Chains A and B, each alone.
Chain A
Amino acid sequence: MTGTKDKWFYGLLAATAAIFAYLIGYIFLVTPLAQLQAGGLAQKIFYFHVPAAYAMYLCGGVCCIASALYLYRPTDARDAAARAGADCAVVFGALVLGSGPLWAKKAWGVYWTWDPRLTTTLLSVLVFVSVVMLRAFAGNGEAERKFASALGVLGTVTLPIIHYAVVMWGGNHPTVITKTGGGLRHPAMSHALLVGFVAMTLLAGLLLWSRARLSLALSRVARLEEQAIATGQIDY
């Protein structure tokens, strides 16, 4: 069974690597430059920045669902999925918050502004950081797990606020992706973004998988340690 799982994992890894190689080539060789007001060459950050934000939502969603299920009925697998979701949401949040300001420097002239979407994104990432920190430093007990799960659900509640922040409160942040077709005025731009979404979905799947496996292994270590202490095989 483990062998079959490994085959799927390495197959997914190969597919992700291939699609990222294609995406990078397509962005730099085919996709045209955007207007200077949008950042010119720096606008090409967009094709990773937006899919990374979407991957953050995806991982936050996994954290929320797994956390809610854990609160309903606790199991190690649900806890591992919630923990993996929070870990990966922080990583993708860091990609968004790292790449966005570099693009903003060219398009807006400043690295950071307290725009509604930027502020709510920072807030959400900080909530997920608190989940990760809680699980890393507060122990692996049932109470800590439940508290982290509740925080994971709370963190995900802030995600729709990010999405609608521009609509509700305005701000500098562009809104090129809309229900009516969006503002990408060249087919190659839309294609690059679509491939970016597919690539980030695969990457999110890979990272979630590997982190959930790590979390399960950590839970197993905790139980084996309890067992070894109880039987006097190791001293604590």
Chain B
Amino acid sequence: MTQAQPESASAATLSDPNSRSTEFVAVQGGGETTSAASLLIAAYLLMWGLLFAFVFLSWRRQGRVETRIAELEKAIAAGGGDGSARQ
């Protein structure tokens, strides 16, 4: 019963975000929140993910555009146009 009062006080403190400026309460299993290894892995995954996504989207769009060019050239050739374009 004598333990109950401090425990409930700690719980109240933990639920109040403003209390961090005036007191610190011991918690179980705190430890470091962000390890260097996890940040390093996150950075490398982010960088490579971005690069591969960009390359994949460019490649897919290039394929669609080339298909469209072929369609248009075919349509123009069928109609008697020369299909040339300024470069």
Contact = CB atoms under 8 A, between A and B. Distances in A.
Interface of A: 39-42, 44-45, 48-49, 52, 75-77, 91, 94-95, 98-99, 102-103, 105-106, 203, 207, 210-211, 213-214, 216-221, 223-225, 227-228, 231-234
B76 A231 contact: yes
B32 to A, nearest CB: 10
B42 interface: yes
A164 B81 CA distance: 55
Contacts of B12: none
A3 B61 CA distance: 21
A95 B34 contact: no
Contacts, number: 110
A44 B34 CA distance: 16
A67 to B, nearest CB: 18
The secondary-structure label for the interface of chain B is helix
Which of B37, B58, B73, B78 lies at the interface centre, i.e. has the most chain A CB atoms within 10 A of its CB?
Answer: B58
A217 B68 CA distance: 10
Interface residues of B, number: 34
Nearest to A98: B46
Given A99-B46, A224-B69, A224-B85, 7 more contacts: A45-B39, A95-B47, A207-B58, A217-B66, A220-B85, A221-B65, A232-B79
Nearest to B46: A98
Contacts of B36: 39-42, 106
Contacts of A77: 87
